[in-house]
Amino acid sequence: MVARGMTLRQSHSLAPSLPGPLVEVELSLIRHFELVQFPAFLLPGVSADLFDECKHRYLVMASRSHDVSKSIIACCASNKSSLTQDTRFAQLGLRYYADVITSINGALSEIAMGARESDDFLLVTVIFAYLYELWSPGQAHHAADHVNGAIQLFKMRHKVDGPRWISTEEQLRSATSPMDRLIAESILYQSLMLSLRNPFTPTYRTNPDFFAWTEILLQDWWAGNTFEDQNTAVLGLPPQLYHIILETVDFCSSAKQSNTELVRLYREMRVCEDCVLRLRTEGALLQIHNEPLLLYVLAASLLLDWVSEASKRSPLTSLYSVVPPTQAAPRWQVTKALLVLRSHLSNEKWSMCFLGSWPMLILGYGVQSHGDIRTVKEVLSRMWRTTGYGEVQRISEELDQLWSQR
C-alpha cells in the first residue's frame, strides 16, 4: 500500500545542522503547522468550526503518537525550507520522513500478519506522508503509493468489504465527523490531482467506486452540480466538474474515441461554463476563494477543445503534441483567464489558494505572447513564494521548458 522498499537516505546519517536545539526547532515547526501549513492545506473559505476542530484533533494526535508528530514535522520542515530557502529544514524534513516510512512499513507488516489493526494514527501518518511528497519540491515519485495506501486504510477503517466500495447507511453515518470529512476530501482531492496531472499520458487513475462512495459520504456538504453553494474544505469544485475533466482525460487514452461521447462532454461543459460565467457577472464568485472555480472551468473547457480537435488529427500522445504551437489569437478561455489573473497579481491571499495550480498548468500551455507568458510566470512565482507548494514549482519548471522551445 505504501511505497515498500523506498530508496531513502538513512535518516540518522543525515545529521543536519540545525538553527537551534532540536526540541526548540520541533516546537517551532509545530507552530508553523498551526499558523502556516495547516491553513495552506485547506481552502480559504473553510468554516471556522471545521478548521478549529480538525486542527485541534491533529495536534492532539501528534501529542500522542511519535509517528503522527514526525510526519507533521517532516511536512512543515520541508515547507519552511521552501519558504525560507534554508536547506537545513529540508534535510531535517527528509530525516523525519525516512523515519516515518520505516514506521509505516513496519505497521503494514504487522497488519498483514494479523498482529495489529489499522487505526487513525496510522491513517493520519500516511496522509501526511503524501502531503510531504506533494508539497515538497522534486518529483513526488512516491505520492501515488501513499495516496493508494491512505485509500485502503480509509476503507479498512470504515469496514468497507470487497473490492468495490459498497457500504450500508450505518457505515456511512459512522463517517460523518469533521475529521472523517476532511480526511475523505483530502484523499479524494489528491487522487483526482494525480489523475489530472498528466492528462494525455496519465500514470494514475482515480478509483471510480471510491469517488462515488465519497460523494455519498460528503453529500450534505458537497453540493451536487452547483458552483455557488460549495461548502468543502479541500475539494472546492462540484463533483460534476471533476467528472467532466476525468472523462476528458479518459477520452484521451481510450482506444474507441466516440463522437457521441464528445458531444455529451461538450453539452455538460457548456452547462458549467454558462453557470460560472453567469455567477461571476452577478458578483457571486468575486470572493477570493471562489475565483479559482472560474479558472478551473476555463481550463477544463480549453482542455476539452484541444482533445476534440486533436482527436480528429492524430493519436493523443502528449499535451505538447496536442496544443497548437501558434495561433492567430488567444483562445477565449485564455483571454478570460488572463483577466482574472491580472486582477489578482498583487493579491497575496489569492495566491495562497492551492486550488489554482492545475488550471495554471493548462493555461500555461495555452498562452502564446510574451506578455501573456509573463503574466502566468508572475502568478506562479507569487504562488510559490507565498505557499512553498512543490506542485507549483513542478508546473513552473514544466512550463519554462515548454516556453523555451517555442
pLDDT of residue 4: 43
Is-contact 77 14, C-beta < 8 A? Answer: no
Tens of pLDDT, residue by residue over 313-359, are 665 555 555 665 566 678 999 999 999 899 877 677 778 889 999 99
Specify the range with the lowest mean pLDDT, choosing from 1-15, 44-58, 320-334, 376-390.
1-15
Handedness of CA 21, 27, 33, 35 (dihedral sign): negative
Would you call 245 helix, strand, or coil by DSSP?
helix
In angstroms, how far is CA 185 from the centroid of its own chain? 10
Same domain, 230 and 335: yes
Same domain, 145 and 207: no
Q: How far, in Å, CA of 289 to CA of 280, rounded? A: 13
* pLDDT at residue 224 greater than cutoff 70: no
168 contacts: CB under 8 Å, gap ≥ 6: none
For the chain, give the percent of residues with pLDDT over 90: 57
Q: How far, in Å, CA of 292 to CA of 317, rounded? A: 28
Same domain, 211 and 305: yes
Residue 25 within any structural domain of the chain: yes
Is-contact 334 302, C-beta < 8 A? Answer: yes
Q: Establish how many alpha carbons lie within 13 A of residue 32's alpha carbon, considering only the half-sphere containing its beta carbon.
A: 23
84 contacts: CB under 8 Å, gap ≥ 6: none
Cα–Cα distances (Å) from 183 to 51, 58, 177, 226, 331, in that order, read 13, 11, 10, 23, 37
Same domain, 244 and 100: no
Residue 169 within any structural domain of the chain: no
Last residue of a domain, one of 162, 183, 215: 162
Specify the range with the lowest mean pLDDT, choosing from 43-47, 112-116, 123-127, 162-166.
162-166
Cα–Cα distances (Å) from 238 to 155, 167, 241, 297, in that order, read 23, 23, 6, 11
Residue 178 within any structural domain of the chain: no
Rounded to whole angstroms, the maximal C-alpha distance in the chain is 65
Tens of pLDDT, residue by residue over 79-92, are 999 999 999 999 99
* pLDDT at residue 70 greater than cutoff 90: yes
Residue 190 within any structural domain of the chain: no
Last residue of a domain, one of 162, 185, 213: 162
The closest of 24, 18, 30 to 92, measured between CA atoms, is 18
Last residue of a domain, one of 120, 144, 162: 162
**What does DSSP assign to residue 258?**
-
The closest of 95, 74, 78, 71 to 16, measured between CA atoms, is 95
Using alpha carbons only, give the angle 233, 235, 239 rounded to the nearest 5 degrees: 130
Same domain, 275 and 231: yes
Residue 173 within any structural domain of the chain: no
Is-contact 250 307, C-beta < 8 A? Answer: no
Same domain, 214 and 295: yes
* pLDDT at residue 162 greater than cutoff 80: no
* pLDDT at residue 289 greater than cutoff 80: no
* pLDDT at residue 179 greater than cutoff 70: yes
Q: Give DSSP secondary structure letters for 143-211.
A: HHHHHHHHHHHHHHHTT--TTTT---HHHHHTT-SHHHHHHHHHHHHHHHHHHHSSTTS------HHHH
In angstroms, how far is CA 178 from the centroid of its own chain? 19
Same domain, 227 and 314: yes
Same domain, 59 and 144: yes
* pLDDT at residue 5 greater than cutoff 50: no
Burial string for 211-230 (b: 16+ CB within 10 Å, else e) reads bebbbebbeebbbeeebeeb
Q: How far, in Å, CA of 72 to CA of 135, rounded? A: 12
Tens of pLDDT, residue by residue over 385-395, are 999 999 999 99
129 contacts: CB under 8 Å, gap ≥ 6: 2, 71, 97, 100, 101, 104, 146
User: Mean pLDDT in the chain?
Assistant: 86
Phi, psi of 54 (to 5 degrees): -70, -40
Is-contact 89 78, C-beta < 8 A? Answer: yes
Residue 4 within any structural domain of the chain: no
Q: Which one is predicted more confidently, 363 or 226?
A: 363
pLDDT of residue 255: 62
Q: Which one is predicted more confidently, 70 or 16?
A: 70
Average pLDDT over residues 240-255: 87
pLDDT of residue 277: 82
- The grid cell for 405 is 522551445
pLDDT of residue 311: 76
The closest of 196, 111, 89, 195 to 155, measured between CA atoms, is 111
Number of separate domains in the chain: 2
131: containing domain: 11-162
Q: Angle formed by the axes of helices 390-404 and 357-366, to 10°?
A: 0
Same domain, 142 and 267: no
Q: Which one is predicted more confidently, 120 or 348?
A: 120
Same domain, 111 and 259: no
- The grid cell for 16 is 543536519
In angstroms, how far is CA 5 from the centroid of its own chain? 25
Q: How far, in Å, CA of 254 to CA of 9, rounded? A: 40
Same domain, 217 and 362: yes
Query: Of 17-26, 106-115, 119-128, 316-325, which has the strongest mean pLDDT?
Result: 119-128
Residue 219 within any structural domain of the chain: yes
Residue 72 within any structural domain of the chain: yes
Same domain, 120 and 222: no
Is-contact 379 345, C-beta < 8 A? Answer: yes
pLDDT of residue 217: 83
Is-contact 399 359, C-beta < 8 A? Answer: no
